[in-house]
Amino acid sequence: MRLHEALISGISRGEISAHRCEGFRLDLANTLRDERKTAELQHLEKDFYRQVGAYLVSLTQELSAVLDPYGVEAQILQDTLKSEKNSMNKLIDQRMKKIVRKAVRNARSASQDDVQGMTEEEEEIYRSLLLAIMRGRETILAHLSHTEKPANAGASAEYEVVRMLESVPVFVGVDGRNYRLSEDDVVALPAVHARNLANKNLAAEVKIGGPERPREERN
């Protein structure tokens, strides 16, 4: 017997309440409630949104297969689908706000490998935001100090994301920040430093939305 056929059978006999029906769903409502309880991002699986997508597709397919579109089973499925989509939209909004705050907060620090608990899609959004904020901040500071940035932006105003392949001693960047970098750190560095480290096989460039540039073999 299909899931919703079992629910309909139980409801008709008064054995399954609406509250118990909730337990058969991918629990998006509770996920949303947990997300609202804290200022920090709650941990989600890397493929969470793909799982939700497959779940919503399965509900839609099951609704299409119902023989009586005006019956009780169809109504339950329609209500479930509407409720789950509503929960997902609110969950996305909650998490996007937190990701933006995290990017703003981390734009001033040396290490930006702060993507724990994010899905693959959120990690890409976070890193894109981080770079945009860092570049925008440098432009604003240049105007405030009456130092106009040249049309072909200099290395001090450009950043690149790299993953450290080895630890390096603390150094002061051209942007005036102290950088303490360890192996496997993912960090946005002034382009001149990122390229120097990559040329020395100490770091690998991370392409936003794409794979890392492979490490070259040492001679």
pLDDT class of 105 with cuts at 50, 70, 90? confident
Lowest-pLDDT range of 13-22, 165-174, 207-216: 13-22
Each residue of 24-51: b (16+ CB within 10 Å) or e? ebbebbebbeebeeeeebbebeeebbee
CA angle, residues 84, 6, 53, in degrees to nearest 5? 25
What letter represents residue 120's amino acid? E
Spatial distance between the Cα atoms of 59 and 54, rounded to a whole number of angstroms: 9
The predicted pLDDT at position 19 comes to 33
Confirm if 218 and 185 have CB atoms less than 8 A apart: no
DSSP 8: H
Terminal Cα-to-Cα distance of the chain (whole angstroms): 65
**Domain locations along the chain:** 3-106, 120-205
Class of domain 3-106: mainly alpha
The answer on pLDDT for 17 being more than 90 is no
| Residue in 57, 38, 61 with CA at minimum distance from that of residue 49 | 57
Mean pLDDT, residues 55-72: 90
Same fold, 3-106 and 120-205: no
The predicted pLDDT at position 182 comes to 87
The predicted pLDDT at position 26 comes to 63
Query: Over the stretch 109-148, which tens digit does the pLDDT of each residue have?
Result: 655 667 888 999 999 999 888 888 888 877 777 777 654 4
Where does residue 187 rank: exposed (0-12), middle (13-18), buried (19+ CB within 10 A)? buried
Lowest-pLDDT range of 30-34, 76-80, 154-158, 210-214: 210-214
CATH number of 120-205: 3.40.5.50
Spatial distance between the Cα atoms of 185 and 167, rounded to a whole number of angstroms: 9
The predicted pLDDT at position 148 comes to 47
The C-alpha R_g of the chain, in whole angstroms, comes to: 24
Strands 186-190, 178-179: pairing is unpaired
The predicted pLDDT at position 13 comes to 36
pLDDT class of 89 with cuts at 50, 70, 90? very high
Confirm if 102 and 41 have CB atoms less than 8 A apart: yes
Beta pairing partners, 205: 162
Query: Over the stretch 152-190, which tens digit does the pLDDT of each residue have?
Result: 444 445 888 888 899 988 888 877 788 888 888 888 888
The answer on pLDDT for 44 being more than 90 is yes
The answer on pLDDT for 41 being more than 90 is yes
The overall pTM is greater than 0.75: no
